[in-house]
Structure 1
């Protein structure tokens, strides 16, 4: 192996996901992931803290994208509409990775440790969105409620999207799921009193 290998991080992610699907998360070792990617364990640990984090790489970038999108929404938008715009932008980022997302979702869903890590990721995203809403002048509990409701919508929409046979866009499923939330809450569009 040479000293420098192009796209080591991406190759490690792909190798890990393949092995998790083939053998299961618990049965896969870092050494096997590195070997499958034709890299060393040392290279693996330069990119990821552990084998779990391979599945969660990019969470920070996704949150940054969502928060930037929320910041760009006109000030007149309701808190839930601002969150919806942020989540649609996050959906656009994920759209081209549907095959990867389907496999990743199956792996995460099959493992309690990974489900817990996924919930932490979503809670962190909700906290980031709530903070962005507070910067816009949205008070509490409206900021937290809008962010948490948005994450619930996104979670449901994402599970539907990876499970659907048709090829609808994730942003469309997010909008549809938000419409369902509005229907079950009596059509409220958000805002603080």
Structure 2
């Protein structure tokens, strides 16, 4: 086994996505993922707690990125603008994973437990965003509305991007989605 080869985590992720697509999530074992990656199960468990975490391990880091971006927004930035700017930070990360994102999402969409986990991740983002906004002095109810709206806009934009990542820029879709929401709210 090639434990010493670089990028074990990336190789495990790639192997898992391949196997999930070929066999299905339920039919794929950790042992098979490790074997496909040329690694041991022990190495797998050094990087992931279970086979779900291959799909969700980056969620906490993205949540931290969102919170940090809101905390660092310039004084006087509206709650809405702070959330939009924070989501731009997530977009930058996801652009680098444009080859993985559609495959990851296809696996998630094919399995009820994984869809539920994805919704839980997005709910956690919303809670973290609302908390960060309240800490900036935003009224609690408004913080919740803006946080949940921002996550909803992002989710719809992400789904649009996933449908055709080769031809659309996620950042442009997110910006356009926020602009459409602002226009609809002005009506």
Question: What is the TM-score when the length of structure 1 is the normalising length?
Answer: 0.91
Structure 2 unaligned residues grouped into runs of 5+: none
1:191 counterpart residue number: none
Say if 1:168 and 1:3 are closer, same or farther in 2 by CA, change over 3 A.
closer
Distance 1:80 1:175 in 2: 12
1:151 counterpart residue number: 151
1:117 counterpart residue number: 117
Aligned residue runs from structure 1 range 43-192, under 5 A: 43-164=43-164, 166-186=166-186
User: Which 10-residue stretch deviates more, 166-175 or 121-130?
Assistant: 166-175
The answer to whether the 8 Å contact 2:55/2:104 transfers is: yes
2:29 counterpart residue number: 29
User: Which 10-residue stretch deviates more, 166-175 or 23-32?
Assistant: 166-175
Distance 1:152 1:145 in 2: 10
How far does the alpha carbon of each residue in 1:32-67 deviate from its partner, in whole angstroms, 9 at most, with x for none?
A: 101001111111112111111110111111111122
Shift of 1:184: 3.0
Shift of 1:186: 2.8
Distance 1:135 1:73 in 2: 12
RMSD: 1.5
Say if 1:88 and 1:150 are closer, same or farther in 2 by CA, change over 3 A.
same
Q: Tell me, what secondary structure is at the counterpart of 2:100? A: helix
Structure 1 unaligned residues grouped into runs of 5+: 188-193
Distance 2:50 2:96 in 1: 26
Figure out how many residues of one structure are paired with residues of the other and give that number.
187
4+ residue segments displaced more than 3 Å: 2-5
How far does the alpha carbon of each residue in 1:150-169 deviate from its partner, in whole angstroms, 9 at most, with x for none?
A: 00000000000111265332
